[in-house]
Amino acid sequence: MEKFVEECGESEQVLKDWHSGFASAVELEFLEESAELEYEREYLLNSQPLRIDLLVIKKNTEADIQNCIGRIFKKYNVVEYKSLGDGLNIDVFLKVLAYAFLYKVDGKMVDERKVDEITVSLIREGKPNALFKKLKDLGFTITRKFVGVYWISGPVLLSV
């Protein structure tokens, strides 16, 4: 790389900026459909720092936690609290899942935090009936485990 930079007079910054070239190539690929598409390069996902409300790390994964929420805990547990005035809808649900995935990939090594070692808990007063209906419509299964505690399992929602 350094030899190429010396011989060609290119700056390393230009060589590292492959996103611009890739985005331009994608736009060229869809040139015939350009009236139907809009592109936003380097789209910022959040205006504020991303923060998990509470991260509970279970030091001994074999330990039995007796609390009805703690019983489902694995090693890493992302907990989101919503007060009475806060909504708990499909966007909040997916945002918290995104936080869990971002936490998973933020280790020092690849796969340091195993995906099957992570749980997500959404806590609020009152059952989120509208969210549960939306999740059922999307193919999720909702199982009541304890009074006021539900497990949600279901499909990957995006086409991959």
pLDDT of 8 reads 55
The pLDDT tens digits for 30-70 are 999 999 999 999 888 888 889 999 999 999 999 999 999 89
Is residue 71 located within the same domain as residue 130?
Answer: yes
Is residue 139 located within the same domain as residue 61?
Answer: yes
Is residue 31 located within the same domain as residue 87?
Answer: no
Over residues 74-82, the mean pLDDT reads 96
pLDDT of 19 reads 86
Total domains present in the chain: 2
Q: How confident is the model at residue 7 (pLDDT cuts 50, 70, 90)?
A: low
Domain that holds residue 91: 54-152
The pTM of this model reads 0.81
Structure tokens at 48: 């504020």
Flag whether 100 is in a domain.
yes
Name the DSSP class of 158: S
Is residue 31 located within the same domain as residue 106?
Answer: no
Write down the mean pLDDT value for the chain.
90
Is residue 64 located within the same domain as residue 143?
Answer: yes
Q: Of 10-19, 101-110, 141-150, where does mean pLDDT reach its minimum?
A: 10-19
Is residue 145 located within the same domain as residue 119?
Answer: yes
Flag whether 122 is in a domain.
yes
Flag whether 44 is in a domain.
no
Flag whether 84 is in a domain.
yes
pLDDT of 3 reads 53
pLDDT of 1 reads 47
Flag whether 42 is in a domain.
no
